[in-house]
Amino acid sequence: MGTLRIPDVVPSPTEDCETLRKAFKGLGTNEKSVISVLGHRTAIQRKKIRETYQQLYNRSLVDDIFSELSGDFRKAVVLWTYEPSERDARLANEALRSRNRTITQLQVIVEIACASSPDHLVAVRQAYCGLFNCSLEEDIAANVPMPVQKILIGLVRSYRYDKELVDPSTANAEAAILREAIRTKQLDCDNFITILGTRNVHQLRATFECYKQNYGFSIDQDIKSRGKGLLEPILKVVIWCIDSPEKHFAEVVRASIVGLGTDEDSLTRAIVTRAEVDMMKVRGEYFMENKTSLDNAVIGDTSGDYMKFLMTLLGAKV
């Protein structure tokens, strides 16, 4: 369940476009209007607003937002306004083009591959080809070294069965295969990747549960204990995104604000991508792990229109 709040009576796309256009016109921008419109509309409603804006003014809404807003606020509103598949294709591309391709960047790709629906993942791959003149997996192959490359390609190419169908004996057998790969540090072997990249998430959750019962460790703990490269933390993100995306995104938020300074890109991404999906659960998970509310954490680490926009997506009345 998301945290996005939609008014009982939603203005027509034309009315919303007029409000936005008015907010952009003249000197300065009425940021409050932008937040009050876009921060309270679903993905389908935002799509209609984009299309209507283009028809009414022969201008791109995203381009206008880009030229009217600035800083982290701009980045958050732009990401929120894109079609979700285009948004994720752009996030993946940015991660692959980044000079630091550490876990902080590359986990974006894992999130898209493992914490989205199969149809969304396919839509992202289609959008990627349309935007960047090559496939997502070609760009991964060109920019990410082995063995992480092999894991990421294996995951983004998945199209998982999406109904809740679990075979307990498969869970048991595949827990043993995963265990053997981890024990022998063959974390990029074909069996390992085929299981993580083709099984449906419900089946995998059962497999991870078997793993814990049979071997006494959770699979992510077991992976963590085997090495300190980039592969182990990537696989931890894989396991979490499959097993409990809310736990993963609560951790993204925590990591983005911990210590001095804030990683606004990660914070924005977590809230923008999950506000309509499972932000209620992310918030609950955050509270359980950190004994403080996610909302307070966001308020403490951000400010101005950026804060107001994130808080709006989190369901606050700002």
Q: Can you give the binding site for a second copy, defined by CB under 8 A?
A: 118-119, 122, 125-126, 129, 133-138, 141, 146, 150, 153, 157-163, 165, 190, 194, 197-200
- Write out the two tokens for 52: 């209507």
Given the complex with a second copy, which of 130 and 227 has the nearer CB atom? 130
Give me the least distance between CB of 77 and a second copy, in Å please.
30
Contact 256, 236 (CB under 8 A): no
Nearest to 179 by CA among 218, 123, 149: 218
Given the complex with a second copy, which of 149 and 262 has the nearer CB atom? 149
Given the complex with a second copy, which of 18 and 138 has the nearer CB atom? 138
Contact 234, 113 (CB under 8 A): no
Given the complex with a second copy, which of 138 and 209 has the nearer CB atom? 138
What is residue 193's three-state secondary structure?
helix
- Write out the two tokens for 82: 């894109």
Given the complex with a second copy, which of 193 and 272 has the nearer CB atom? 193
Please name the residue ranges forming H helices in the chain. Answer: 13-24, 31-38, 43-57, 61-68, 71-81, 84-97, 103-114, 118-132, 136-143, 148-156, 168-183, 190-198, 201-215, 219-224, 231-243, 245-257, 264-274, 279-290, 294-301, 304-313
Given the complex with a second copy, which of 194 and 292 has the nearer CB atom? 194
- Write out the two tokens for 193: 């990747």
Give me the least distance between CB of 113 and a second copy, in Å please.
12
Give me the least distance between CB of 90 and a second copy, in Å please.
17
Give me the least distance between CB of 123 and a second copy, in Å please.
10
- Write out the two tokens for 241: 């995104």
- Say which DSSP state 228 is in: -
Give me the least distance between CB of 241 and a second copy, in Å please.
18
Q: Which residues contact 314 (CB under 8 A, 6 or more apart)?
A: 3, 271, 275, 279, 283, 294, 295, 298
Given the complex with a second copy, which of 138 and 295 has the nearer CB atom? 138
Give me the least distance between CB of 154 and a second copy, in Å please.
8
